[in-house]
Amino acid sequence: MHNFLPIAYFENQFVPFAEANISIATHALHYGTGAFGGLRGLPDPANPEQILLFRLDRHCQRLSHSARFMHFDLPADKIQQVIVDFIQKNQPSKPFYIRPFVYTSDLGIAPRLHNVKKDFFVYGLELGDYLSPDGVSCRISSWHRQEDRSLPLRGKISGAYITSSLAKTEAVDAGFDEAILLNAQGKVCEASGMNIFMVRNGTLYTPSMNQDILEGITRDSILTLARELGIPTEERAIDKSELFIADELFLSGTAARLTPISRVENYTFSKDRPISEKLREKLSAITENRDPDHSDWVFKIPLK
């Protein structure tokens, strides 16, 4: 059971988390017509009177775009203000994760996005490591990532996570930690809730934006940092067989941060991961406000 933050934002007000409940007849529960965000926050190690939120603006913008796919006009500024208020109400003292969610909140049936009430809520939970920071084993999933012609993959649409769930459980049932999904073209796409990176001969590769991936905010940050550190980067389609002969592989995501991959199927990888480690250290230093670079990525929310 998770430790939830005590206050939630629900139906336009702040209420105790235990009172933020929806009906079994809620439209989104039946049709997957929700969309969400996911942000990590932590008390500033150097000043516990302020909370650090990584790339809050980008997370709010992506959720606003997801809402747009759902025919719900929810400006990024409004989401950002609710999240800031949410943090000030909760006064978190440990690292946490925020889940903002937009959904069709009508009670009633028939899948559609028109003529159906939409709503927006926010809640949070304490969160440590989501995946083992020492490395994870991955199975190539028999489930493929959906195609953008079937649903808007640039949104974090809740219904789409059936594929992630099938893939993750298939992997865990087979003794692996995580799943790597290929796209409909058979190219490497991403994991159940993370983007994927590969290092070969000193170059950092990741699937390009038109490979049916989620446009991950951690992915974008890692690419930017790699370029600044002088690591050559390339965004392109990646073949499954390239993974097996990679020098380093890792996953990236808000929850997973930068998680090395120690094995894919029956191919194991060295624990010597100079590029992954360099990027991981830089990314954590920035998110923890220990590095002045990209201080504009770190939103500082005063608790008083």
Which of 61, 137, 218, 287 is in the footprint of ligand PMP by CB under 6 A? 218
Q: Does 253 bind ligand PMP (CB under 6 A)?
A: yes
Alpha-carbon Rg for the chain in angstroms: 19
Rounded to whole angstroms, the Cα distance separating 2 from 156 reads 22
For the bound state, the minimum distance from the C-beta of residue 222 to ligand PMP, rounded and expressed in Å, comes to 9
What is the DSSP-derived secondary structure letter of residue 54? E
Strand partners, 96: 41, 126
Where do we find the tokens 């002045």? 292
Which of 7, 116, 214, 249 is in the footprint of ligand PMP by CB under 6 A? 214
For ligand PMP, give the closer residue by CB, 74 or 181: 181
Using the rule CB under 6 A, give the single segment among 6-14, 75-83, 100-108, 252-260 that binds ligand PMP: 252-260
What Å distances lie between residue 88 and 5, 59, 82, 83, CA to CA? 12, 18, 10, 9
Rounded to whole angstroms, the Cα distance separating 167 from 144 reads 8
- Cα 6–chain centre separation: 23
Which of 35, 217, 231, 283 is in the footprint of ligand PMP by CB under 6 A? 217
Q: Does 124 bind ligand PMP (CB under 6 A)?
A: no
Q: Structure tokens of 190?
A: 């991403």
For the bound state, the minimum distance from the C-beta of residue 24 to ligand PMP, rounded and expressed in Å, comes to 26
**Of 156-195, which residues contact ligand PMP (CB under 6 A)?**
156, 164, 190, 193-195
Question: How many residues contact ligand PMP, by CB under 6 A?
Answer: 15
For the bound state, the minimum distance from the C-beta of residue 221 to ligand PMP, rounded and expressed in Å, comes to 8
Nearest to 153 by CA among 116, 109, 115, 184: 184
Q: Does 141 bind ligand PMP (CB under 6 A)?
A: no
Using the rule CB under 6 A, give the single segment among 17-25, 95-103, 211-219, 236-244 that binds ligand PMP: 211-219
For the bound state, the minimum distance from the C-beta of residue 157 to ligand PMP, rounded and expressed in Å, comes to 10
Sign, CA dihedral 99-252-41-93, equals positive
Write the DSSP assignment of 175-229 as a string of letters: T-SEEEEE-TTS-EEEESSSEEEEEETTEEEE--TTSS----HHHHHHHHHHHHT
For the bound state, the minimum distance from the C-beta of residue 195 to ligand PMP, rounded and expressed in Å, comes to 5
For the bound state, the minimum distance from the C-beta of residue 163 to ligand PMP, rounded and expressed in Å, comes to 9
Q: Does 219 bind ligand PMP (CB under 6 A)?
A: yes
Binding site for ligand PMP (CB under 6 A): 38, 156, 164, 190, 193-195, 214, 216-219, 252-254
